[in-house]
C-alpha cells in the first residue's frame, strides 16, 4: 500500500529530527571546543601594533644645474620603491638603524630575525609599501607601514624604513653628481698636463688656462652639490 505524499514527508522529517536530536550533543560539544580553542589561541598571541608614514615624491622645477642638466634622481617606475625597501641594501640599512635606535635588544633581535627571514624567502610582512603614482607629472605618494610588538617599536621601525628609503634616493641623485665630478677631475688633469708642456706666453697656453679656469669653476660647483 502506497502512503500519500504528505505522510512520507512527515516520516522523513521525523527521521531527520531524530537524527539531529541524537547527534545534537556531540555537535554542540565540538562547536564549543572549537570556540574555546580559538579563544585560547588568540588570547595567548602577543598584540601587534602598526605605524605608518607617508613620503611625497615630487619633481623639482628649481635646483642647481651642471651643464644645463637638472641635478636630481631619475624618476622611478611603479613598484620600484617596494622592490628597493625589501632589497638587501635597504633591509641591512634598516637593521643597522634599529640596532642604534635604543629599543630593547630582545625586540630588536626579533624584528631583525623576521626581516632577514623575509629577505631570504622573498616575502614582506614587517614592512609594507603602497604607492600612488602619477607618471605624467612624475609625482607620487608612498605609504610605508610597519608592524611590531609595541607601538614604540612599530614607530621606530617605520622611521628607520623611511630614513633608509630617503638616504637611498639621495644616493641615486648624488651618483650623477659624482660622475660629473670625476669627469671634471679627469679634464682638469688633462689640461694641467698640456699646460706644463706648452710654451710660456703662447696663445695656446692662454687658451688652456682659460679652459682650466672654467673647469675649476664647474668642479667647485659639483663638489658643493655632492655634499
**Which is higher by pLDDT, 226 or 136?**
226
Q: Give this prediction's pTM.
A: 0.63
Percent of the chain exceeding pLDDT 70 equals 70
Contacts of 26 (CB under 8 A, 6+ apart): none
The b-or-e profile of 31-69 (16+ CB within 10 A means b, else e) is eeeeeeeeeeeeeeeeeeeebebebebeeeeeeeebeee
DSSP 69-121: EE--PPPPPTTHHHHHHTSHHHHHHHHHHHHTS---HHHHHHHHHHHHHHHHH
DSSP 159-196: HHHHHHHHHHHHHHHHHHHHHHHHHHHHHHHHHHHHHH
pLDDT band, residue 144 (cuts 50/70/90): very high
Q: What is d(CA 71, CA 23) in angstroms, rounded to the nearest whole number?
A: 77
Give the model's pLDDT for residue 57.
78
Q: What is d(CA 118, CA 87) in angstroms, rounded to the nearest whole number?
A: 10
User: How many Å from the N-terminal Cα to the C-terminal Cα in the chain?
Assistant: 103
Q: Count of alpha carbons within 13 Å of 75, Cβ hemisphere only?
A: 13
Percent of the chain exceeding pLDDT 90 equals 29
Contact criterion met (CB below 8 Å) for 83 and 97: no
Tens of pLDDT, residue by residue over 37-82, are 555 555 556 678 999 999 887 765 545 555 545 556 666 777 888 8
Q: Count of alpha carbons within 13 Å of 67, Cβ hemisphere only?
A: 9
Give the model's pLDDT for residue 156.
95
pLDDT band, residue 3 (cuts 50/70/90): very low
Q: What is d(CA 52, CA 65) in angstroms, rounded to the nearest whole number?
A: 35
Give the model's pLDDT for residue 6.
52
Q: What is d(CA 146, CA 162) in angstroms, rounded to the nearest whole number?
A: 10
pLDDT above 90 (res 160): yes
Q: What is d(CA 131, CA 201) in angstroms, rounded to the nearest whole number?
A: 62
pLDDT above 50 (res 1): no
Tens of pLDDT, residue by residue over 110-127, are 999 999 999 998 888 899
Burial class (CB in 10 A: 0-12, 13-18, 19+), 126: buried
Mean local confidence (pLDDT), 20-41: 60
Give the model's pLDDT for residue 69.
52
**Which is higher by pLDDT, 214 or 38?**
214
Amino acid at each position: 500500500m502506497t502512503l500519500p505524499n504528505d505522510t512520507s514527508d512527515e516520516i522523513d522529517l521525523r527521521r531527520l529530527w531524530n537524527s539531529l536530536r541524537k547527534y545534537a550533543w556531540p555537535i554542540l560539544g565540538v562547536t564549543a571546543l572549537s570556540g574555546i580553542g580559538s579563544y585560547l589561541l588568540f588570547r595567548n598571541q602577543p598584540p601587534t601594533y602598526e605605524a605608518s608614514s607617508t613620503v611625497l615624491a615630487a619633481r623639482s622645477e628649481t635646483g642647481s644645474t651642471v651643464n644645463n642638466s637638472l641635478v636630481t634622481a631619475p624618476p622611478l617606475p611603479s613598484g620600484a620603491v617596494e622592490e628597493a625597501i625589501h632589497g638587501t641594501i635597504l633591509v641591512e640599512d634598516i637593521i643597522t638603524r634599529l640596532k642604534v635606535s635604543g629599543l630593547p635588544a630582545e625586540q630588536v633581535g626579533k624584528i631583525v630575525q623576521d626581516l632577514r627571514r623575509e629577505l631570504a624567502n622573498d616575502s614582506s610582512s614587517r614592512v609594507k609599501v603602497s604607492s600612488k603614482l602619477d607618471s605624467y607629472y612624475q609625482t607620487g605618494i608612498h605609504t610605508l607601514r610597519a608592524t611590531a610588538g609595541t607601538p614604540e617599536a612599530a614607530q621606530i621601525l617605520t622611521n628607520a624604513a623611511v630614513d633608509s628609503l630617503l638616504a637611498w634616493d639621495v644616493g641615486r641623485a648624488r651618483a650623477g653628481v659624482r660622475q660629473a665630478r670625476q669627469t671634471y677631475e679627469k679634464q682638469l688633469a688633462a689640461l694641467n698636463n698640456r699646460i706644463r708642456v706648452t710654451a710660456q706666453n703662447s696663445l695656446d697656453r692662454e687658451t688652456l688656462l682659460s679652459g682650466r679656469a672654467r673647469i675649476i669653476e664647474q668642479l667647485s660647483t659639483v663638489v658643493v652639490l655632492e655634499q
